[in-house]
Amino acid sequence: MKNWINKQSMMTMTLLVSLSASAQTICNDNGTVTFNYHNAQAKKVAVDVQFAGKHDMTFDKKTGIWSVTLGPAAPDMYPYHFEVDGLSIMDPLCKDYFPNEGFKNSLLEMKSNKGKLAHDILPVGHGRIEYIHYYSKNLGATNNAIVYTPSGYYDEANKDKKYPVFYLISGTTDTEEVYYKVGRMNYILDNLIAEGKAQEMIIVLPYGNPTKLKDKVPADARAQGDLFSNDLNDDLMPYIEANYRTINDADHRAIGGFSRGGNQALYNGLRHLDKFSYLCSYSSFTSTDIPDVYEQADSTNSKINLLWLGVGTDDFLYGTARDYMEFLDKHGIRAAKTFTYDKFGHTWMNAKYFLAKTLPLLFNKKASRLAMEYTVPTRKATGKEKPFNLEVMSRLFPKPIVSPEYGDDHSVTFRIKAPEAQEVHVNLIADGENKSLKMTKDTTGVWSVTTKLENIKLPETLDKAVTHHAYYKYFFDVDGMHVVDPNDMYLADDNEEKYSIALNPDDEYYEPNMGDIAYGKVVVDPNNNTATYYPANKYWKAGEAPRRIVLNGTEPIQGMTRLGGIASVADRLLANGAEPFIITVRGNL
């Protein structure tokens, strides 16, 4: 009997593996894509992909797989998700995803069979991606950013070499990871440098929405208004210049961004032309009321090496962005302009394209000024341009459901909107255990449950004597479907399933409230498939090498390091007097 059970179990596992493989989304040779999703219990499934919109899928009763073939589409990277009985679901068999504060999409990469794409991962020297934390006096909290350092930055031969810096900002609801994971800024620049088409530079990806940390931002700081600009100029830039080998003048600083990030880039660049002379706006515009800029065209033009503006004619921001270009023309402000027609509007296909066009111009005065001199003219208004206003903004970015939400009584509330669901649980995963809590639905279709943090069994940290409530994984079980929290910006990279990560703002290891301590960094090295935590410079002792801890895992390395809490725990231990150490995680990217 025992052998029979084992054989049956093996057959069942083989069948499940086979079904999973057949449910993978497939890019076909003819440029079409076959989307597959396995769910025998679902009543209706659609796929929503940026190159084709939303389409219903067909169900195969024999396999339990829903499928549809769409396209053809141009080779690129496209966000998509499944809509299952009215609920947005990431593709469970796709490892790549779109980081965001308010939605979770999978990423489809369609490769070209006719040539290389700007963002392809090619056999060239690859720069490193560094996750950093820094204390922001303007926020009264710890903030985070990502730094790209070019290949060879850490070579002994280049130890005295200094580099120009490009501050590159993502859009509304995006995290600081988006220009890395979706925009592929590192691979685009790696390829351009290898071809001799771009300067070696450091790229800094700030977090564009520090008000997300508002629970830890003092009331008087929030009253100061533009927290992002204050943090960028007074906290992040000084940190970068103190910790990286940068050239610190306007001729060697650039700033740019997509959507809201483009507005932030232009606003800060034009207000600080003593700091930035290269300004790039991708699908955006900014205020027409910036003192001493627009009314003094000769002075402004003399300070700017490059002002670059790009937008798609099918972008919902096209009308306002076009009006801004015309405004600059009327005031005699020179700018290079680009219009696209085929990248689906306000999308990251456009954002990548614009970035690839501008990187070769940065820190190259001659090329930049030629680009502005021989630019295409501003397109004339047709009267059919749609205005961008608060109504459009509220439709595109509706008020999010808060989840998880922490109470003053050390409680946490989880919420998810699933009006058609029959039963919903939240599953809290800590120390290898899965604690399932049943949720209740209100009249608006929002399910919720509240629990005390002390009810959650928590994992051990690097310091075995310390137990804390800073990090744990969770997911929603919606009528048997595994669903990440669409309103939680923190997502764990696991191989087989995606999980949300709960971060408790009352804990000393929670990054935003760790205080004004010395912070290390996590360096992601794509050349070696490693992520390494390095302590802050102050902890390095002359002539002594810190002890090294090596962790070998099967999970993606970023999930084990930054979101796994290794960096914040290590920083706190060192601040409390521990001997310095380095942690290297070997896994996969």
Which tens digit of pLDDT belongs to each residue from 323-355?
999 999 999 999 999 999 999 999 999 999 999
Which of helix, strand or coil describes residue 265? helix
pLDDT in tens, 531-562: 888 999 889 887 788 888 887 765 555 555 55
Residues 409 and 485 in one domain: yes
Q: Which helix (H) or strand (E) holds 524?
A: strand 521-525
Q: Where are the alpha helices (DSSP H) in 331-444?
A: 348-358, 365-373, 390-396
pLDDT in tens for each of the 589 residues of the chain? 334 334 444 444 444 444 455 689 999 999 999 999 999 999 999 999 999 999 999 999 999 999 999 999 999 999 999 999 989 999 989 988 998 888 889 999 999 988 899 999 999 999 999 999 999 998 888 899 999 999 999 999 999 999 999 999 999 889 999 999 999 999 999 999 999 999 999 999 999 988 777 555 555 554 456 889 999 999 999 999 999 999 999 999 999 999 999 999 999 999 999 999 999 999 999 999 999 999 999 999 999 999 999 999 999 999 999 999 999 999 999 999 999 999 999 999 999 999 999 999 999 999 999 999 999 999 999 998 887 877 777 677 777 788 988 887 878 899 999 999 999 999 988 666 778 999 999 999 999 999 886 655 544 444 443 344 456 789 999 998 999 998 888 887 665 678 888 776 666 666 777 889 999 998 988 777 888 889 998 898 877 888 888 877 655 555 555 555 678 888 888 998 989 999 888 866 5
Residues 177 and 263 in one domain: yes
In this prediction, residue 454 carries a pLDDT of 64
- Taking the C-alpha atoms of residue 403 and residue 515, their distance in angstroms, rounded to an integer, is 24
DSSP category for residue 118: T
Residues 331 and 189 in one domain: yes
Residues 353 and 260 in one domain: yes
pTM value?
A: 0.91
Decide if 354 is inside a domain. yes
| Residue showing tokens 């990187």 | 359
Residues 493 and 523 in one domain: no
Decide if 118 is inside a domain. no
What one-character-per-residue DSSP string does 172-202 give?
Answer: TTB-TTHHHHTT-HHHHHHHHHHTT-S---E
Decide if 569 is inside a domain. yes
Q: Domain count for the chain, please give it.
A: 4
| Torsion angle (degrees, nearest 10) of CA 187, 190, 192, 196 | -170
Residues 141 and 75 in one domain: no
| Domain extent at residue 61 | 2-109
CB 479 within 8 A of CB 423: yes
Decide if 395 is inside a domain. no
Which of helix, strand or coil describes residue 169? strand
Residues 77 and 152 in one domain: no
Residues 336 and 220 in one domain: yes
Maximum distance among all Cα pairs of the chain, rounded to whole angstroms: 89
Q: What are phi and psi of 372, to 5 degrees?
A: -75, -35
